């Protein structure tokens, strides 16, 4: 006899509208023979989108990516390819040059690194000539050897911060700063990095109104093998790590190593439902104009029992910093000679606090640089890089949980609705080439729409959001190409009800023009526009002139009445002379779940047929007349022939 | 940029046939006003099924459960109900008498315990008079106080072995033997039982050809809070525990406590896919005639990220015993004063081996009873009841993994197919009142059929398999009643192809009678019968006399041609004059995914229409002609009327 402990719960918000690839006609870029369009970089000033693919870099018109402005190829020599193949790698797929770093170096040049047939190399790309300078810098520690290995990088003050693997096998992970005057790196030790998969890195500048003398911080996001948790098999754990821009390393201890490297668990779970999301897929930093602090939006999947489940958790930068600046540390202990266990460290913590950036307080205590930090502090951070406290998400729960999907990439836009309320609109790519646009309305996830970006269902490898007012797009890269999608398809909503029911903060109904318009933040909103994020369509103007279609059919025939409705959340209801019709009766049938078939027409079938959509919004049904048909059945005198008569009895 | 670590995998074997409740017409029993039919007990000799429900016990005809033979009610007095309600419990649901123990005591009596408004009580039921003896025994430790608490029991040699909670709050778990001469129980300590949910208990008799002097063993299956594993929140772990029938407790240490209580982890996981099934739902002991050793079939769901996932793992009794008799123990250690960690114990183990049953070897060393075991052995087992080694399943992987379902109960039947091969047929109940019948064919799960046992989609609470030759049934209890289902619905397969494609070891096609017959193990098989578990239907006789239906339709009309096909694995294909028709064209449409609609009939539509089913079996398509229609379109002279003409243009 059993007691059911595990509860199966439905996390299945359905995208309200599904746009097929052919329906949206997106701008796209695709160069024959070129694959893996995985690095995207935007220059807002130049309206240029730089794309790093396999063995090629392109400059595209950001307003129309199908327009190529420049291209440059960076191929592996046959000689190198042969050497790489000798080491047992595939000539066709692995021994090529995958662009992995594409960062702005100056207004006239980019810093580019590629795997280069397992000999990672970096170069400078001159943007005027669109030619490489031929620097041939060693890319070790900046770019992985193997295109299958994880990597991330950020350009901060002209210095490249990178998380990747340092050797051919990919067994030595590293987080490094590549700087001529102060190169730094992580210790090669399990407590620092334990088989990490790097996902994202970026800098957060000291807050302009913050404590004087604060330092910029560079954050790294990755998933690694957990040392503090154990289960039936290896557990992965998502981490955020942080280093300080002003770090100079130690003088003796931690020489040329980070003295400010600390890392902490990211929690994205819902204990009541037994949900634990512990594999990071992507991170986006939302820097909304006007808001004090950036927010980290992190995309997760579970490691355990994942048969299609994804989640988004949001973290405040202050919550991350609080763990690093005030949290407890972890320590390892040996149990019974042979087992290493990690537990909370409860002992005394040296001063200055290990792992802290040099701030004005430290400077006042005469620690002007990490080079003159006391040995005690350095030794402590070397042994205790892991925090015991966890970083918990905003509201202490996931923003979004979605079943039956594997999300791969996320970008987020904060936008203002007509009424002034701000919404964080999440654009999330799937492993099947789709883009979901999700918004939180009254604590519930509403997926406004799903767009099939790539016709071949390739995973979305990269997403990029442009921020230029008035011409905003989401760019997506996959193995086969790059597409450019608008933030909204307002114009495709043909009625006021549809425009309001979309519950899309970018869209509003304009009664004078009878169109669903895209709100641009730059324009001043018109008072007559209708937008109700609650989905309340009662403000929509009455359709004074009801249109209808008239049909004549003959007696005994079959009529098919059409009705079109895009919303996946709506149900189509047919009415005849104001009474609801029961489909799937001998008289009626629904085709494609929308169109009505009427069989064996007789005079009694003449009359008015109405197709309505019923959509549930906040437990209220919004009913909308979609089409009206007027049908007239004409009598044809019967002929003396036997009609509609099965004769031969059915044999078994 | 992300590296996808979690892989979503499809574990979605679809039941080949779905039998709706109304299609199968099962025998059922349901007494008005009586609920929670959760205790089932079979008397094969008497052909009687005893049913313990809330406040009632019934004796039903096992061959037709709708026939009630006896009934007896055991209600809670108003006085007791009031006292129970005073303690904050619900008078309508909790302060009643839920029968939780229903065990055979002798040929003429049953041992029955009920929750009895949070005052668990046991009594003897005389089977001749079907009246209680009025013993009013204290049921503490045999039956839970709260109907929501877990429980399990087994009657062994007239003594009740029970796993349940010992107090009102349910906070004190216990595994006990209720015996007049030697009552025993577990220590009340976390290392022994840590918030367990009891699922199953049974005795495994010493093997008749085994080591002389071996003892019978009683196994308990439960899920408890893990002490050895840690993750973001409390982890549950499935366990098997074992005690020896001959255990007498210790003399000083472990006085009146088990000296033979050991427990171990059950592993049911698939590391490659990140699947961990750690919540036990049910266990069944398969004792197949002729096979040496019973097998434990265990049903699991995951604790983590379970959005509808279940698995079955099978364990050999020998694998369980090996862990207890030769495995390493675990020990707890205190780390940094405040953390308790469990690790493998590598020190010396006292003799006789702690937790072992008294066997001839122990007797030879003068340990004739647990009462004279040395204190060292007893102290060791008291502190180390948990094994470090895990019990791994047969073939080291789950037998079955199924998505989008929550299984609750399992029974298994070993049956011989016509060719002599043995198959373990699993009958598994769901939380929505369905029964799945699954069999492993060439390492793949084949779900022969799904039967909706309960029309109200109530969870299957209990399953019981009768073993009497020739009259075998699966009985299922839910909150609303008891149903009796046959092991197979062979007679419902009307063609040889369908009978073979069912891949049901109970079914074979008999060409002389042209019926799909149910194989009874007692009868000697007929050589002419056709059964191919591979699904190869090529041996089926040619349908010499092809039947067809003839129809006449008039010009311009619509024809609907019917086709019936039960298999969820098959696809319906329509052919016209031997060419495959494309449905969903302006000319044709499929209704209900089976029947063909032909619009706007003309002379060219006259001819032969064939409906075929195509079913993929082992990557081969088995095609089967289901129906043949001959259609003739008659011309009706056209009348001077406008037909089929949309006139009014559509307005927006």
Q: Does A645 touch chain B (CB under 8 A)?
A: yes
Contact B282 A231 (CB under 8 A): no
From the list A51, A170, A160, the residue with the least C-alpha distance to A115 is: A170
Does the distance separating the beta carbons of A639 and B267 come in below 8 Å?
no
Is residue B567 within 8 A of residue B16, CB to CB? The reply is yes
Distance CA A215, CA A259 (A): 14
CA A497 to chain centre: 29
Statement: residue B31 has pLDDT above 80: yes
Q: From the list A3, A274, A545, which residue is nearest B303 (CB)?
A: A274
The CA angle B391-B397-B400, to the nearest 5 degrees, is: 120
End-to-end CA distance of chain A: 46
pTM score, whole prediction: 0.92
The CA-atom distances, in angstroms, between A146 and each of A97, A120, A169, B208 are: 10, 9, 8, 61
Predicted local distance difference test score (pLDDT) of residue B545: 54
Residue count of chain A: 652
Among B217-231, B306-320, B422-436, B610-624, which stretch is predicted with the lowest mean pLDDT? B610-624
- The predicted pLDDT at position B6 comes to 32
Using one digit for the tens of pLDDT, what is the confidence trace for A111-124?
999 999 999 999 99
A586 close contact with B: CB closer than 8 A: no
> Is the minimum CB–CB distance between B545 and chain A shorter than 8 Å?
yes
Q: Closest to A197 (Cβ–Cβ): which among B5, B11, B552?
A: B5
The per-residue pLDDT for B643 is 39
Pairing of strands B184-185, B197-204: unpaired
Collapsing DSSP states into helix, strand and coil, what is residue B603?
helix
- Residues B98/B479, Cβ–Cβ less than 8 Å: no
Return mean pLDDT, chain A.
90
Q: What tens digit of pLDDT does each residue of B523-580 get?
A: 676 778 999 999 988 888 876 556 788 888 878 778 888 888 889 999 899 999 888 8
Q: Is A597 near chain B, with CB under 8 Å?
A: yes
Q: How far is CA B151 from the centre of its chain?
A: 17
pLDDT digits (tens, 9 = 90+) for A356-390: 999 888 999 999 999 999 999 999 999 999 999 99
d(CA A239, CA B2): 14
**Tokens for B371?**
């009462």
Q: A95-99 contacts: CB < 8 A, separation 24 or more? A: A96/A54, A96/A55, A96/A147, A97/A54, A97/A55, A98/A36, A98/A38, A98/A54, A98/A55, A98/A147, A99/A38, A99/A39, A99/A52, A99/A53, A99/A54, A99/A55, A99/A56, A99/A57, A99/A74
Give me the pLDDT at residue B586, please.
77
What SS3 class is residue A323? helix
Q: Residue A629 pLDDT > 80, yes or no?
A: yes
Q: Which of B94, B99, B45 is nearest to B72 (CA)?
A: B99
Contact A647 B552 (CB under 8 A): yes
Chain B residues within 8 A of A3 when measuring between CB atoms? 149-150, 197-199
Q: What is the DSSP letter of A100?
A: E
CB contact, 8 Å: B558 with chain A? yes
Q: Could you tell me if B359 lies within 8 Å of chain A, comparing CB atoms?
A: no
Q: How confident is the model at residue A557 (pLDDT cuts 50, 70, 90)?
A: confident
Give B299's contacts in chain A (Cβ within 8 Å): 2
Q: Supply the DSSP symbol for B405.
A: -
Q: Give CA–CA dist A531/B650, Å, rounded.
A: 27
**H-helix or E-strand containing B364?**
helix B360-364
* Percentage of residues of chain B with pLDDT beyond 90: 73
Q: Return the DSSP state at B75.
A: P
Q: Which residues pair with residue A336 across a beta bridge?
A: none
How high is the pLDDT of residue B538?
A: 87
Mean pLDDT of A195-218: 84
Report how far residue B609's alpha carbon sits from residue B583's, in angstroms, rounded to the nearest whole number: 13
A and B: number of Cβ contacts within 8 A: 300
Q: Quickly list H helices, A238-390.
A: 317-326, 360-364, 375-383
Give the tens place of pLDDT for each residue, B364-401: 999 999 999 999 999 999 999 999 999 999 999 999 99
Pair of tokens at residue B360? 């001839």
Cβ-defined contact of A650 to B547 (cutoff 8 Å): yes
Cα–Cα distance for residue pair B479/B432, rounded to 1 Å:
12
Smallest Cα distance from B258 to chain A, Å: 23
Is A601 an 8 Å CB contact of chain B?
no
Handedness of CA A492, A494, A497, A500 (dihedral sign): positive
Task: Decide which of B590 and A66 is more confident.
Answer: A66
pLDDT in tens, A631-651: 998 775 554 443 343 344 434
Structure tokens at A458: 């390739």
Q: What pLDDT is stored for residue A619 in this prediction?
A: 78
Rounded Cα gap, residues A287 and A204, in angstroms: 10
A522-536, B1-15, B346-360, B417-431: segment of lowest average pLDDT: B1-15
Give the H/E segment covering residue B375. helix B375-383
Cβ–Cβ below 8 Å for B4 and A554: no
Question: By CA distance, what is B339's nearest residue in A?
Answer: A343
Residue A545 confidence (pLDDT): 55
Q: What is the pLDDT of residue A650?
A: 38
Cα maximum dimension of chain A: 113
Half-sphere exposure of A394 (CA within 13 A, CB side): 15
- Calculate ∠ Cα B237-B242-B243, nearest 5°: 145
Q: CA distances (Å), B321 to each of A201, B241, B351, in order? A: 52, 10, 18
Q: Mean pLDDT over residues B196-206, rounded? A: 95
Distance CA A311, CA A201 (A): 20
Query: Which chain B residues in 47-86 lie under 8 Å from chain A, judged by CB atoms?
Result: none
Q: Is the pLDDT of residue B23 over 50?
A: yes
Provide the pLDDT for residue B7.
34
Average pLDDT, chain B: 90
Q: How far apart, in whole angstroms, are the C-alpha atoms of residue A383 and residue A23?
A: 57
Answer whether B335 sits within 8 Å of A333, measured CB to CB.
yes
Q: And the tokens for B301?
A: 């769901």
From chain A, pick out residues whose CB is under 8 angstroms from the CB of B639.
554, 636-637
In chain A, residues 441-470 whose CB comes closer than 8 Å to chain B: 459, 461-462
In this prediction, residue A558 carries a pLDDT of 80
**In this predicted model, what pLDDT tens digit does every residue of B440-493 receive, in sequence order?**
998 899 999 999 999 999 999 999 999 877 678 999 999 999 999 999 999 999
**What's the rounded Cα separation, in Å, for the pair A117 and A76?**
7
The model's confidence at residue A149, banded by pLDDT at 50, 70 and 90, is very high
In degrees, to the nearest 5, what angle opens at C-alpha A19 toward C-alphas A18 and A23? 150
DSSP string, A145-212: SSTTS--EEEEETTEEEEEEE-STTS-SEEEEEE-SS--EE--SSTTT-SS-EEEEEEEEPPPTTSST
Is the bond preceding residue A197 a cis peptide, omega within 30 degrees?
Answer: no
Q: In degrees, to the nearest 5, what angle opens at C-alpha A171 toward C-alphas A167 and A175? A: 70
Distance of CA B304 to the CA centre of its chain: 21
CB of A45 within 8 Å of any CB in chain B? Answer: no
Q: Over the stretch A495-553, which tens digit does the pLDDT of each residue have?
A: 999 999 999 999 999 998 899 999 875 567 677 899 999 998 888 887 655 678 888 88
Chain B residues whose CB is inside 8 A of the A149 CB are 3
Cis peptide before A352 (omega within 30 of 0): yes
Higher pLDDT, A624 or B321: B321
Among candidates B5, B281, B343 on the partner chain, residue whose Cβ is nearest the Cβ of A223 = B5
What is the C-alpha separation between B275 and B305, in angstroms, rounded?
A: 10
* Of residues B313, B318, B8, B445, the one with CA closest to residue A232: B313
For residue A244, give the nearest of A350, A337, A157 by alpha carbon. Answer: A157
**CB atoms B1 and A199 under 8 Å:** yes
pLDDT, mean of residues A297-312: 96
Of A282, A599, A641, the CB nearest to B554: A641
Q: Which of B374, B382, B375, B386 is nearest to B345 (CA)?
A: B386
**Residue A225: CA count within 13 A, CB half-sphere:** 9
Portion of chain A with pLDDT greater than 70, in percent: 93
Q: Considering Cα of A122, then A124, then A130, then A131, what sign does the dihedral take?
A: negative
Does the beta carbon of B152 lie under 8 angstroms from any beta carbon of chain A? yes
CA distance A102 to A72: 13
- Name the maximum alpha-carbon separation found in chain B: 113
pLDDT in tens, B222-247: 999 999 999 999 999 999 999 999 99
DSSP for A13-68, please give it.
PPPSEEE-HHHH--EEE--TT-----EEEEETTTTEEEEEEBTEEEEEETTEEEEE
A495 to chain B: closest CA residue: B652
- Please name the member of A343, A560, A646 whose beta carbon is closest to the beta carbon of B550: A646
| Chain mean position to CA B291 | 21
Backbone torsions φ then ψ of A646, nearest 5 degrees? -65, 130
In A, which residues are within 8 Å of B637 by CB distance?
639
Contacts of A341 in chain B (CB under 8 A): 335, 339, 341, 343
Q: Give just the sign of the alpha carbon dihedral A133, A137, A139, A142.
A: negative
CA distances from A215 to A94, A353, B177, B482 (A): 40, 15, 68, 71
Continuous segment of H or E residues that includes residue B197: strand B197-204
Residue A328: CB atoms within 10 Å = 14
Strands B400-403 and B434-441: unpaired
**Contact, A588 vs A596, CB < 8 A?**
yes
A599 contacts in chain B (CB < 8 Å): 558, 560
Please tell me the distance in Å from A553's CA to the nearest CA on chain B. 5
Q: Cβ contacts of residue A129 below 8 Å, gap of 6+?
A: none
Per-residue model confidence (pLDDT) at position B1: 32
A644 in contact with B, Cβ within 8 Å: yes
Mean pLDDT lowest among A373-377, B282-286, B588-592, B595-599: B588-592
Whether B275 contacts chain A with CB within 8 A:
yes
Shortest Cα distance, chain A CAs vs residue B408, angstroms: 7
For B504-525, the pLDDT digits (tens) are 999 999 998 899 999 875 567 6
Cβ-defined contact of B8 to A406 (cutoff 8 Å): yes
Pairing verdict, β A39-43 and B217-225: unpaired
Is the Cβ of B631 closer than 8 Å to some Cβ of chain A?
Answer: no
């Amino acid at each position: 006899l059993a007691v059911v402990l595990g509860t199966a719960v439905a996390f299945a918000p359905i995208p309200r509208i599904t746009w097929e690839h052919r329906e949206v006609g997106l701008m796209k870029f695709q160069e024959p023979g070129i694959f893996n369009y995985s690095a995207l970089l935007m220059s807002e000033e130049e309206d240029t989108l730089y794309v790093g693919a396999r063995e090629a870099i392109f400059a595209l018109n950001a307003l129309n990516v199908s327009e190529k402005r420049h291209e440059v190829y960076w191929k592996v020599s046959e000689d190198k390819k042969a050497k790489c193949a000798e080491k047992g790698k595939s000539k066709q797929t692995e021994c090529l040059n995958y662009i992995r770093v594409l960062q702005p170096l100056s207004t006239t040049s980019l810093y580019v690194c590629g795997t280069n047939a397992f000999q990672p190399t970096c170069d400078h790309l001159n943007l005027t000539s669109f030619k490489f300078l031929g620097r041939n810098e060693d890319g070790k520690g900046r770019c992985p050897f193997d295109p299958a290995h994880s990597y991330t990088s950020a350009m901060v003050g002209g210095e490249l911060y990178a998380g990747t693997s340092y050797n051919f096998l990919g067994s030595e992970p590293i987080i490094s700063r590549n700087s001529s005057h102060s190169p730094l790196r992580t210790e090669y030790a399990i407590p620092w990095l334990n088989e990490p998969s790097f996902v994202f890195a970026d800098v957060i500048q000291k807050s302009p109104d913050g404590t004087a003398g604060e330092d910029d911080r560079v954050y790294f996001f990755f998933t690694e093998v957990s040392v503090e948790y154990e289960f039936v098999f290896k557990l992965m754990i998502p981490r955020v790590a942080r280093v300080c821009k002003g770090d100079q390393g130690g003088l003796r201890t931690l020489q040329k190593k980070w003295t400010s490297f600390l890392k902490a668990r990211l929690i994205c779970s819902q204990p009541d439902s037994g949900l634990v999301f512990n594999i990071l897929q992507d991170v986006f930093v939302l820097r909304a104009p006007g808001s004090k602090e950036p927010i980290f939006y992190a995309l997760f999947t579970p490691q355990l029992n994942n048969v299609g489940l994804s989640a988004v958790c949001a973290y405040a930068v202050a919550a991350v910093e609080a763990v690093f600046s005030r949290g407890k540390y972890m320590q390892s202990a040996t149990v019974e000679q042979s087992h290493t266990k990690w537990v909370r460290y409860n002992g005394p913590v040296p001063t200055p606090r290990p792992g802290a950036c040099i701030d004005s307080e430290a400077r006042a205590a005469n620690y002007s640089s990490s080079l003159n930090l006391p040995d005690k502090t350095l030794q402590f951070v070397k042994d205790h890089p892991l925090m015991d406290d966890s970083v918990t998400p905003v509201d202490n729960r996931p923003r979004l949980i979605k079943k039956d999907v594997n999300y791969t990439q996320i970008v987020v836009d904060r936008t203002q609705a007509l009424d002034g309320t701000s919404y964080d609109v999440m654009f999330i790519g799937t492993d099947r080439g789709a883009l979901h646009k999700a918004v939180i309305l009254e604590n519930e996830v509403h997926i406004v729409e799903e767009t099939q970006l790539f016709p071949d269902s390739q995973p979305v490898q990269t997403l990029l959001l442009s921020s230029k007012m008035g011409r905003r797009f989401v760019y997506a890269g996959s193995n086969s190409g790059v597409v450019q999608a608008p933030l909204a398809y307002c114009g495709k909503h043909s009625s006021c009800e549809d425009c309001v029911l979309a519950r899309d903060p970018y869209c509003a109904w304009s009664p004078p023009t009878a169109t669903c318009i895209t709100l641009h933040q730059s324009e001043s909103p018109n008072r007559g526009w209708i937008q109700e994020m609650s989905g309340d369509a009662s403000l929509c103007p009455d359709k004074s002139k009801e249109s209808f279609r008239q049909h004549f059919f003959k007696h005994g025939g079959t009529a098919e009445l059409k009705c079109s409705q895009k919303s996946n959340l709506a149900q189509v209801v047919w009415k005849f002379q104001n009474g609801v019709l029961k489909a799937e009766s001998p008289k009626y049938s629904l085709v494609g779940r929308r169109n009505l078939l009427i069989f064996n027409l007789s005079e009694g079938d003449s009359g008015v047929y109405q197709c309505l959509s019923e959509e549930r919004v906040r437990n209220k049904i919004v009913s909308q007349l979609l089409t009206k048909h007027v049908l007239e059945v004409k009598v044809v005198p019967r002929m003396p022939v036997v009609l509609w008569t099965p004769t031969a009895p059915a044999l078994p």
